[in-house]
Amino acid sequence: MQEIYQPADYPDLLAGLDNPDDAAVWRLSEDRALVVTLDFFTPIVDNPYDYGAIAAANSLSDIYAMGGKPFLALNVAAFPPELPNEITSEILRGGAEKAHQAGVVIAGGHTVQDKEPKYGLIGLGFVHPEKLLTKKGARPGDVLLLSKPLGTGTITTALKRDQADPTDVSEAVGWMKRLNQTASELALAFGVRACTDITGYSLLGHAWEMATASGVGLRFRFENLPFLKGAFHYAQEYIFPGGSMDNQHYFGSHVTFADEIEESFRLLLFDAQTSGGLLMSVPAPQVKPMQAEAARVGQNLWQVGEVIEGAHIEVLR
């Protein structure tokens, strides 16, 4: 790509070439930039409405991770021709209602035929160029906050294998459908230095992206990490999506674990997530007031670690 597009030739492209992030960002003026993202995936739950809502929340999450406010979207869909209309309608309704909740207009889209359903959004948002959140900017001494629990990959894989407890699935669906809007607004209000959303590359994969972009190390404390109910059980059965193993293979050499953390629980930190929370690097003096405001507005924020010197990730017990 960079052989064709030289970053120096596009000074208004604030994110997308030499500094890839959760979304592309193009400066429109001194006080406004356009945030653009695209995401779609195959069904991870059985209910078509929930699938559509999760896909929409997941797509818009990249805009929130950049500190942006989404306003417009297009559907991207691939459906088998034999799929009943009532199912496709529910998928699209789930996406539309979630987008509407976010204040986003879905103004059209494109659909093709495929053997397996796929759905997501092209999302557009606005952000002030000086308030743009990226993966770059974390500093030693910052505190790491996380806005959603982990474990969606192992639970949805258990569902596909007919091994999941319905209450565990219901909890996971509820979190995946939750927008990262409030967490993003808090990040902007309290001067978060670096931010990313936790999706397919897992907590540790996306954390490594933040660490390398910022030129720092990260330290997590396993006992402080939030997990969905049932996640430990399915992890001990080694029920993981293929992407989790890929994440461990690709990012594992950059991570050291405390000896007492067993292998199945280590895999939970490489678990490929869908519509996960925001991982934020927060200046230490801002943590308590940010958590107090989060509690006031009903937003979960877990203190899960800190930014350190170095070029690695460590996970303590």
- Span 93-128, pLDDT tens digits: 999 999 999 999 999 999 999 999 999 999 999 999
Query: In terms of C-beta density within 10 A (0-12 exposed, 13-18 middle, 19 or more buried), how is residue 272 classed?
Result: buried
pLDDT, greater one: 313 or 9: 313
Predicted pLDDT at 200: 95
> Helix %, strand %, coil % for the chain, to 5?
40, 25, 35
Provide the pLDDT confidence category of residue 1 given band limits of 50, 70 and 90.
low
Q: What is the pLDDT of residues 179-206, one digit of tens each?
A: 999 999 999 999 999 999 999 999 999 9
CB-based contacts of 295: which residues, under 8 Å, 6+ apart? none
Confidence (pLDDT) at 18: 78
Contact partners, residue 284, CB within 8 Å, separation at least 6:
141, 142, 143
State the greatest distance between any 2 C-alpha atoms of the chain, in Å, as a whole number. Answer: 57
Mean pLDDT of 70-88: 97
- Tell me what the mean pLDDT of segment 54-78 comes to: 98
Amino acid at 178: R
Decide if pLDDT at 289 tops 80. Answer: yes
pLDDT at position 7: 86
What average pLDDT does range 308-313 have in this prediction?
96
pLDDT of 222:
98
The one-letter amino acid at 257: F
Give residue 241's pLDDT: 95
DSSP type of residue 75: E
% of the chain surpassing 70 pLDDT:
99
CATH homologous superfamily, domain 134-316: PurM-like C-terminal domain (3.90.650.10)
* Residue showing tokens 């808090």: 186
pTM above 0.85, yes or no: yes
**Strand 69-79 relative to strand 105-113, pairing:** parallel
CB 251 within 8 A of CB 294: no
Q: How far apart are CA 47 and CA 43, in angstroms?
A: 9
Domain boundaries, the chain: 7-130, 134-316
The pLDDT of residue 136: 95
Q: In the prediction, which pLDDT does 33 show?
A: 98
Which residue do the tokens 């091994």 mark? 163
| pLDDT recorded at residue 250 | 95
User: Can you tell me the distance from the alpha carbon of 206 to that of 147, in angstroms, rounded to the nearest whole number?
Assistant: 14
The domain 7-130: what is its CATH number? 3.30.1330.10
Looking at residues 15-37, what average pLDDT do you find? 92
pLDDT, mean of residues 286-309: 98
- Residue 7's SS3 state is helix
